């Protein structure tokens, strides 16, 4: 009797076909993984920008609410104290003879009265809040309270597009009639998300 032997293994053609199919599947999987990682990175970057926008909006609205230097040398007919120019645009850290720094030129400086109660009687000084852009494209908020040395200097936004900072006011920014509203526009940008425009706005307290 003749015994039939079975042959185990694959032919060369089967191996080549399998390798070709594996290559196609691997390319498809690699593309899916790359796309997923890109989307995750873009989502994370958008969340970071949104967080910066919320932080900046919180600080800016509060700073604008308190803006206003009173002129104590003059009293209006109704007995109120008139304002002095309290908003400075594109201002050096020594603008108007009021020093807060040294700092880079600020997109906007907001001035207000600050009563120093550490002495008796209390002394009126000037508070300064400066929003400026660092060489590293970070928007910072520096604050001076009656002194030339900042009491705080914090980052409120990163990856700010150079030249994107712009300030607008509801009336003339540098007028003695302090504007009721101020807006700071900026654009943050990252390769994964592109440009992200942010508007920081605030309304002055009417008092």
Are the beta carbons of 129 and 114 closer than 8 angstroms?
Answer: no
In which band, very low, low, confident or very high, does the pLDDT at 155 lie, cut at 50, 70 and 90? very high
pLDDT > 90? residue 27? no
Length of the chain equals: 207
Could you tell me the pTM of the whole model? 0.80
Q: What integer pLDDT is reported at residue 192 of this predicted model? A: 86
With 80 as the cut, is the pLDDT of residue 77 above it?
Answer: no
**Mean predicted confidence (pLDDT) in 92-104:** 96
Question: pLDDT at residue 3 above 60?
Answer: no
Q: How confident is the model at residue 81 (pLDDT cuts 50, 70, 90)?
A: confident
CA dihedral 62, 134, 145, 56 (to 10 degrees): 10
Mean confidence (pLDDT) of the chain: 88
Residue 180: Cβ-neighbour burial (10 angstroms; 0-12, 13-18, 19+): middle
Residue 200 and residue 56 in contact, taking contact as beta carbons nearer than 8 Å: yes
- Partners of 84 in the beta sheet? 69
Poorest-pLDDT segment among 34-38, 92-96, 138-142, 149-153: 34-38
Buried b (16+ CB within 10 A) or exposed e, 60-89: beebbebbbbeeeeeeeeeeeeebbbbbbb
Give the residue with greater pLDDT, 74 vs 154: 154
């Amino acid at each position: 009797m003749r015994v039939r032997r079975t042959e185990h293994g694959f032919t060369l053609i089967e191996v080549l076909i399998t390798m070709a199919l594996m290559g196609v599947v691997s390319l498809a999987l690699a593309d899916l993984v790359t796309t997923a990682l890109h989307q995750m990175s873009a989502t994370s970057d958008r969340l970071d920008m949104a967080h910066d926008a919320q932080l900046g909006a919180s600080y800016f609205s509060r700073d604008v609410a308190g803006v206003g230097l009173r002129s104590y040398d003059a009293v209006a007919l109704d007995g109120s104290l008139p304002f002095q120019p309290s908003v400075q645009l594109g201002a050096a850290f020594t603008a108007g003879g009021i020093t807060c720094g040294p700092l880079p030129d600020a997109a906007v400086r907001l001035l207000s009265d600050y009563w120093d109660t550490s002495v008796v009687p209390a002394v009126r000084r000037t508070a300064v809040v400066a929003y400026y852009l660092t060489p590293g494209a970070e928007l910072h908020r520096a604050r001076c309270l009656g002194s030339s040395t900042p009491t705080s200097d914090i980052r409120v936004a990163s990856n700010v597009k150079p030249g994107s900072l712009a300030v607008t006011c509801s009336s003339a920014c540098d007028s003695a009639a302090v504007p009721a509203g101020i807006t700071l526009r900026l654009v943050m940008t990252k390769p994964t998300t592109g440009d992200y425009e942010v508007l920081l706005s605030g309304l002055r307290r009417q008092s």
